A and B are shown apart, each in its own frame.
Chain A
């Protein structure tokens, strides 16, 4: 199968990386350190801080493990439907007596409609057909104007049901003495077209949006936690005092959220790139049709969601300096995200959003989850999408200003959790 050509290189890549990292751990560099220019593609102090974040995170086991998990989830989402939808085994149709050519063609057509091939066999008598059915050498037998099966629940077999209906109709045509032309005209009867003023939604796009929303939640949770923990660690290790002697708080804060944000985008790009290559290789329909548009919406809201929340989490990290203090902060901070995520999970598969859901799509706290679902359902125009993005960007600006103020005042206060009340009371840092 073609997907092996994707899995094998991925396994080779992962294995090679592990061997290389193990070698580096056993043979660390000694003497004068290497200049950081190769990593510091970003400029200025903000760029230096961001580059350090990226470098240190790339070295960490956490990033490699989370990347592997995301790739496995993506691969599963693409490969499992493909594997489970593989062609069914051929239907073995026994015939007692002769079967005219039009009926024979009809049986083949029903097989094509239900995704199976049809293999005919001739049965000497009804009794012989019964034995063949019980022995499993045939699945169904056409005996005059009836079908014989040996199944506990024949109504669940779509091939048999389709066959029964089509052969019945064919018999009715013959009994009505319709000419072949008339019979064909009737057979080609099409139902009236139903025009829906709302754009039609396909299951594929809904599935893509569902995967996208899950991806946004996993990645936002991971990277926002990194931001919070990173700020907290700089405070608790006191390195922040050395750093702030060389740069302004806003530079350190911006560099940190930029570095971690770029990591998030890199990981998302890796996941999407992997999904595209894998889907193409195995011929998955998951990324066909309007799914790429949905994918773009997911990426846009991953960026906007991170941009909005990262400042909040960074400011929260500056208030604490111990792990146990972090626990009390994370839950209240993550509630809006969880609410948005749960609503999106409920609506994405059903495709029927409420007005409240529509409203949540314009609230920056929940929009990263709701808006991609609305895009998948075809419920928003481009200007509505842009409007929600603008609301998020404007709110991000104000949130960033507020969070930077909190960070500046709190980051050098040590000796216990800093209360927001103390900072808002206006005492200086």
Chain B
């Protein structure tokens, strides 16, 4: 049975500042949901609210239809934005300890800690103190801390920040695997192209309000058509400037991405491009998440 984490009407004020403003969305089990928004949009506050780490002025958090309490939270895994582990505690013992705090029996917690250390390639460092690990390895241990008790819901605040490509691949693999195993995965990131690669759904918020949400495929194919055109001798796409109904979205690696209005005929665009020089690329493309993000936030 598919369960979902539902956030309904979350509102949180800090004095005159409204951090969350009637925010509602849901995270179904078996899906990886990217949680996007500019700095200060309210992502971290939302994630903290899921764990009861901030007092809400209004709104509820539900899992499987029931309000989330202490018992439910024992089945949630959390990776906070500001990484937090005991610096002087040994890696293996720390993971076992966190597993036990989530209600695991001692042998199960120890076995699970061992498994996750193997899976995330830090098993060799089990007897070392966390503070002696590199940033990347600390990040892996932090992820293991969120996973050690085999949670049904994973909430990860910027899990990819500061990682090299190998580290990113490793964590991405684990998140997708977890979703396939039926977990609900919510994670925030500023690396939109990476999010697009492995997220099925996205939620975009700004000023504590929901801006848009839905599946990446639906959002990418909806809205205005995108054209990528490469014209020799005009890397900035000056030929397209001033064309009615055509907007230059961005110029990347010598090609320009154009956003076409509904009334624009693509044949007219091709003729204009050919008039400017030799056309080496002309293709329709999906709306990228970064474009969606910019458009959504105006």
Mark A residues whose CB is within 8 Å of B: 28-37, 40, 45, 48, 52, 56, 234, 237-248, 412, 414, 427-429
**Docked complex Cα distance between A246 and B109 (Å):** 14
Stretch at the interface among B94-102, B200-208, B252-260: B94-102
With a CB–CB cut-off of 8 A, which chain B residues contact A428?
A: 54-55
Sample of 17 A–B contacts (CB below 8 Å): A28-B127, A30-B127, A31-B123, A32-B113, A33-B110, A33-B114, A35-B109, A36-B109, A48-B97, A48-B100, A241-B80, A242-B78, A242-B98, A244-B53, A245-B73, A248-B70, A412-B48
- In the complex, whether B89 has a CB less than 8 A from a CB of chain A is yes
Is the Cβ of B97 less than 8 Å from the Cβ of A414?
Answer: no
Nearest-neighbor residue (CB-CB) of A51 within chain B:
B97
Is the Cβ of B15 less than 8 Å from the Cβ of A412?
Answer: no
With a CB–CB cut-off of 8 A, which chain B residues contact A31?
A: 92, 114, 123, 126
Q: How far is the CB of A93 from chain B (nearest CB, A)?
A: 69
Q: How far is the CB of A339 from chain B (nearest CB, A)?
A: 35
Which 4 A-B residue pairs are closest in the complex by CB-CB distance? Answer: A33-B92, A32-B114, A238-B84, A35-B106
Nearest-neighbor residue (CB-CB) of A238 within chain B:
B84
- Asked, given contacts A48-B101, A238-B80, A245-B53, whether A32 binds B85 with beta carbons under 8 Å apart, the answer is no
Task: Tell me the residues in window 41-66 of chain B with beta carbons closer than 8 Å to chain A beta carbons.
Answer: 48, 51, 53-55
Nearest-neighbor residue (CB-CB) of A243 within chain B:
B101
Is the Cβ of A247 less than 8 Å from the Cβ of B124?
Answer: no
**Docked complex Cα distance between A52 and B85 (Å):** 14
Is the Cβ of B100 less than 8 Å from the Cβ of A241?
Answer: no
- In the complex, whether B245 has a CB less than 8 A from a CB of chain A is no
Among A30, A37, A237, A246, the residue within 8 A (CB) of B74 is: A246
**Docked complex Cα distance between A256 and B245 (Å):** 66
Task: Tell me the residues in window 223-265 of chain B with beta carbons closer than 8 Å to chain A beta carbons.
Answer: none
- Asked, given contacts A30-B127, A31-B126, A246-B98, whether A241 binds B106 with beta carbons under 8 Å apart, the answer is no
With a CB–CB cut-off of 8 A, which chain B residues contact A239?
A: 84-86
Among A28, A32, A237, A247, the residue within 8 A (CB) of B84 is: A237
Nearest-neighbor residue (CB-CB) of A242 within chain B:
B84
Among B73, B89, B92, the residue within 8 A (CB) of A32 is: B92
**8 other A-B residue contacts (CB within 8 Å) besides A32-B110, A37-B106:** A28-B127, A33-B93, A33-B113, A34-B96, A35-B107, A241-B82, A246-B101, A248-B70
- In the complex, whether B83 has a CB less than 8 A from a CB of chain A is yes
With a CB–CB cut-off of 8 A, which chain A residues contact B117?
A: 32
Is the Cβ of B96 less than 8 Å from the Cβ of A246?
Answer: no
Q: How far is the CB of A313 from chain B (nearest CB, A)?
A: 20
- In the complex, whether B273 has a CB less than 8 A from a CB of chain A is no
Q: How far is the CB of A275 from chain B (nearest CB, A)?
A: 32
- In the complex, whether B33 has a CB less than 8 A from a CB of chain A is no
Mark B residues whose CB is within 8 Å of A: 14-15, 48, 51, 53-55, 70, 73-74, 76, 78, 80, 82-90, 92-93, 95-98, 100-102, 106-107, 109-111, 113-114, 117, 123-124, 126-128, 145
With a CB–CB cut-off of 8 A, which chain A residues contact B109?
A: 35-36
With a CB–CB cut-off of 8 A, which chain A residues contact B107?
A: 35, 37
**Docked complex Cα distance between A48 and B97 (Å):** 8
Nearest-neighbor residue (CB-CB) of A34 within chain B:
B110
With a CB–CB cut-off of 8 A, which chain A residues contact B48?
A: 241, 412
Is the Cβ of A237 less than 8 Å from the Cβ of B86?
Answer: yes
Is the Cβ of B53 less than 8 Å from the Cβ of A32?
Answer: no
Q: How far is the CB of A422 from chain B (nearest CB, A)?
A: 10
With a CB–CB cut-off of 8 A, which chain B residues contact A241?
A: 48, 53, 78, 80, 82, 84
With a CB–CB cut-off of 8 A, which chain B residues contact A247?
A: 101
**Docked complex Cα distance between A412 and B55 (Å):** 12
Of A36, A56, A239, A243, most buried by chain B (CB within 10 Å of CB) is A239
Is the Cβ of A32 less than 8 Å from the Cβ of B126?
Answer: yes
Nearest-neighbor residue (CB-CB) of A408 within chain B:
B55
**Docked complex Cα distance between A9 and B87 (Å):** 36
Is the Cβ of A35 less than 8 Å from the Cβ of B96?
Answer: yes
Nearest-neighbor residue (CB-CB) of B112 within chain A:
A32
Is the Cβ of B93 less than 8 Å from the Cβ of A242?
Answer: no
With a CB–CB cut-off of 8 A, which chain B residues contact A234?
A: 86
Q: How far is the CB of B122 from chain A (nearest CB, A)?
A: 12
Q: How far is the CB of B248 from chain A (nearest CB, A)?
A: 41
Nearest-neighbor residue (CB-CB) of A33 within chain B:
B92
With a CB–CB cut-off of 8 A, which chain B residues contact A243?
A: 101
Q: How far is the CB of A421 from chain B (nearest CB, A)?
A: 14
Is the Cβ of B15 less than 8 Å from the Cβ of A427?
Answer: yes
With a CB–CB cut-off of 8 A, which chain B residues contact A248?
A: 70
Is the Cβ of A412 less than 8 Å from the Cβ of B101?
Answer: no
**Docked complex Cα distance between A239 and B102 (Å):** 15
With a CB–CB cut-off of 8 A, which chain B residues contact A37?
A: 106-107
With a CB–CB cut-off of 8 A, which chain A residues contact B87?
A: 237
Q: How far is the CB of A67 from chain B (nearest CB, A)?
A: 19
**Docked complex Cα distance between A234 and B110 (Å):** 23
With a CB–CB cut-off of 8 A, which chain B residues contact A28?
A: 90, 127-128
Nearest-neighbor residue (CB-CB) of A252 within chain B:
B101
- Asked, given contacts A32-B110, A32-B113, whether A237 binds B85 with beta carbons under 8 Å apart, the answer is yes
With a CB–CB cut-off of 8 A, which chain B residues contact A29?
A: 92, 126-127
**Docked complex Cα distance between A245 and B128 (Å):** 25
Is the Cβ of A412 less than 8 Å from the Cβ of B123?
Answer: no
Of A56, A242, A427, most buried by chain B (CB within 10 Å of CB) is A242
Is the Cβ of B86 less than 8 Å from the Cβ of A245?
Answer: no
**Docked complex Cα distance between A241 and B79 (Å):** 9
**Docked complex Cα distance between A242 and B155 (Å):** 11
With a CB–CB cut-off of 8 A, which chain B residues contact A30?
A: 124, 126-127
**Docked complex Cα distance between A37 and B128 (Å):** 20
Is the Cβ of A56 less than 8 Å from the Cβ of B89?
Answer: yes
With a CB–CB cut-off of 8 A, which chain B residues contact A36?
A: 93, 96-97, 100, 106, 109-110
Of B84, B86, B95, B98, most buried by chain A (CB within 10 Å of CB) is B84
With a CB–CB cut-off of 8 A, which chain A residues contact B73?
A: 245-246
Nearest-neighbor residue (CB-CB) of B114 within chain A:
A32
With a CB–CB cut-off of 8 A, which chain B residues contact A56?
A: 86, 88-89
Q: How far is the CB of B82 from chain A (nearest CB, A)?
A: 4
Q: How far is the CB of B52 from chain A (nearest CB, A)?
A: 8
Is the Cβ of A240 less than 8 Å from the Cβ of B101?
Answer: no
Q: How far is the CB of A211 from chain B (nearest CB, A)?
A: 34
